[in-house]
């Protein structure tokens, strides 16, 4: 079997099966929190202690969760193919499942950084599970208060060009658990080479913006990944 370059784009539906709260679904985070208060630079300026507390709670929720079968199957797929995961999720469930190539478009919960230079590599600190809470005012290497290493609404997505380059090299694109409503991530589907098979795994109807045809498996993440892998490995 010839090894293929498989690129997987995952969204909140991927981690929902692990118990991680989604954003836009019924009961999601944005029904309980105001986006402008906890996920924008302006919210950070207004009330950094609220934002710090919000991400402390999300970090603990993530640490209490376990990778779902879908996460584990994608890690297993590396035995047979070259797999690159581009995720809109800020949790570390892909890594904990064993995936070795994960690009986090929107940041990572287990990292904090400088309020002044959030994307400077030398300012980014990785937290440990045993010491995952941050107090507002804890200093970054440059002395500014630590903020979450999260790409907030209204901020540029530093890794979008890297993600697009991965998609350009894809033999197969698999999109799992994302509504494709958030740009620029949604535009990645148009970076895939013409003729490359595209699979969409999501139980809901999704307004598609890809340039080619799409095979839609209306299933949850784990069931859909299992179905996709079965067909792929039988080819």
Q: Write down the mean pLDDT value for the chain.
A: 91
Q: Is 60 helix (H, G, I), strand (E, B) or coil?
A: helix
Phi, psi (deg, nearest 5) at residue 179: -75, -10
Q: How far is residue 23's CA from residue 31's CA, in Å, rounded to a whole number?
A: 8
Domains located in the chain, CATH noted? 1-20+68-106+157-235 (3.40.50.1220), 21-64+110-150 (3.30.1600.10)
CA angle 135, 56, 105 (to 5 degrees): 115
Q: For residue 40, how far is the Cα from the chain centroid?
A: 18
Q: For residue 39, how far is the Cα from the chain centroid?
A: 15
Judge contact between 9 and 174, C-beta under 8 A.
yes
pLDDT above 70: percentage of residues in the chain: 91
Say whether pLDDT at 183 is over 90.
no
Model confidence band, residue 186 (pLDDT cutoffs 50, 70, 90): confident
Say whether pLDDT at 60 is over 60.
yes
Active site residues: 106
Q: What is the arithmetic mean of pLDDT over 162-185?
A: 89
Q: Is 95 helix (H, G, I), strand (E, B) or coil?
A: helix
Q: What is the arithmetic mean of pLDDT over 75-101?
A: 97
Residues 103-114 have pLDDT tens digits of 999 999 999 999
Q: What is the arithmetic mean of pLDDT over 78-82?
A: 97
Residues 25-54 have pLDDT tens digits of 444 454 467 888 999 999 999 999 999 999
Judge contact between 41 and 154, C-beta under 8 A.
yes
Say whether pLDDT at 174 is over 70.
yes
Q: Give the pLDDT confidence score for residue 31 in this predicted structure.
A: 47
Query: With 0-12 CB in 10 A as exposed, 13-18 as middle and 19+ as buried, what is 42?
Result: exposed
């Amino acid at each position: 079997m010839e090894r293929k370059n498989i690129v997987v784009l995952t969204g909140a539906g991927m981690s929902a099966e692990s118990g991680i709260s989604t954003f836009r679904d019924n009961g999601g985070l944005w029904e309980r929190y105001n986006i402008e208060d906890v996920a924008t630079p302006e919210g950070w300026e207004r009330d950094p202690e609220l934002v710090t507390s919000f991400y402390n709670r999300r970090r603990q929720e993530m640490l209490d969760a376990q990778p779902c079968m879908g996460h584990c199957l994608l890690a297993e797929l590396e035995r047979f193919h070259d797999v690159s995961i581009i995720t809109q999720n800020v949790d570390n469930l892909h890594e904990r499942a064993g995936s070795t190539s994960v690009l986090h478009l929107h940041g990572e919960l287990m990292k904090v950084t400088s309020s002044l230079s959030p994307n400077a590599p030398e300012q980014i600190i990785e937290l440990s599970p045993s010491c995952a809470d941050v107090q507002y005012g804890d200093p970054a290497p440059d002395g500014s208060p630590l903020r979450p290493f999260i790409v907030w609404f209204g901020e540029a997505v530093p890794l979008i060009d890297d993600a697009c380059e991965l998609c350009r090299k894809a033999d197969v694109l698999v999109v799992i658990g994302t509504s494709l409503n958030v740009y620029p991530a949604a535009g990645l589907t148009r970076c895939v080479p013409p003729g490359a098979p595209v699979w969409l795994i999501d139980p809901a109807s999704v307004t598609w913006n890809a340039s080619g045809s799409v095979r839609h498996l209306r299933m949850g993440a784990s069931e859909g990944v299992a179905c996709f892998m079965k067909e792929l490995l039988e080819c």
